[in-house]
Amino acid sequence: MQHIKALATITLLTLATASLAQGAETVTPDNARANFARTITLAPDDVRAFPKPPSGFDAPRPGVAAGRVEEFSYASGVTGTQRQASVYLPPGYSAEQRYPVLYLLHGIAGNQHEWSGYVRANVVLDNLIADGKMQPMIVVMPNGRALADDRPPPGDRVFTAENAAGFAKFERDLLEFLVPAVDAKYPTRADARHRALAGLSMGGGQALNFGLAHLDTFASVGGFSSAPNTRPATELLPDAAAARRQLALLYLSCGNKDGLINVSQAVHRALKQQEIPHLWNVDEHGHDRESWAENLFHFAQRLFR
């Protein structure tokens, strides 16, 4: 029951803050619940693009080498502080080898530990590497709330313009401070074709907003259960020809029990109309870690091919 309540809280906070980030009127908890409970209408192509992952794909397996998750600190000119990110280094990591980089963004109720602590991203990646299904890569999991005090706020501070603004401000923090700091610290392949950006919920909206606006920095972009902070599809990719030329991988996903699915549906349908290649995966989950773990499984193994 606590798990279900926590997921409901994540969803409500995502909806409320996302609406503020877009400049819409303030959302109350009651309005947020109504928004999440909206009628879900599925089109014929709102289906799985891939089979379910094998049982145990997100659980530690005997004999599988584990990557290392370490803390990384960088100076931010946006917040004027030292900010923290979690960095996954794959099994067998060597400073003598260069690696592609995936940046993973968390949801409104999380921080830099959500992907490893809640979704168990590092375990998913360890298993994929062990099975030869994924290129070894560095994975950066930052705090996407670019405020001097970037801790998840207490409940009475979530519904504020200041909190919402932190997620929008992260665009500059990411591009001007985090990415250069990662490239300076680690042996990365520092070009767009070897750099990806993805996220869940609020972070999914950030990934689509920031990644598609900067295809010269990220050639691969993924939005998992993207929240209403996602810009309209016409704003995300105003130049379809450039997108077709620059994108290596564009991946969208959502659960068919997730009241936020209309956000991703709208992006998917606009991409189809513009004939921009992308993957659209609709699983049988809600707004939950099972969906995010599954889609990381599918997304990660298709990167940098």
* Tokens (6 digits) for 262: 């209309």
What number of other Cβ atoms are within 10 A of residue 48's Cβ?
15
Residue 17's pLDDT is: 40
**Domain range holding 149?**
2-300
Residue 49's pLDDT is: 98
| 305 found inside a domain | no
| 169 found inside a domain | yes
| 144 found inside a domain | yes
8-state DSSP, 276: -
Number of domains in the chain: 1
| 111 found inside a domain | yes
3-class state of residue 43 by DSSP:
coil
Rg of the chain in Å (alpha carbons):
18
Report d(CA 176, CA 171) in Å as an integer.
8
Residue 34's pLDDT is: 62
pLDDT in tens, the chain (305 residues): 344 334 444 444 444 444 434 434 343 455 555 656 678 999 999 999 999 999 999 999 999 999 999 999 999 999 999 999 999 999 999 999 999 999 999 998 899 999 999 999 999 999 999 999 999 999 999 999 999 999 998 877 766 777 778 999 999 999 999 999 999 999 999 999 999 999 999 999 999 999 999 999 999 999 999 998 999 988 999 999 999 999 999 999 999 999 999 999 999 999 999 999 999 999 999 999 999 999 999 999 999 99
Please identify which residue in the block is written with the tokens 């997620």.
167
For residue 202, which amino acid is it? M
pTM value is 0.91
Residue 29's pLDDT is: 53
Q: Answer whether 219's CB lies under 8 Å from 247's CB.
A: yes
CATH number at residue 108: 3.40.50.1820
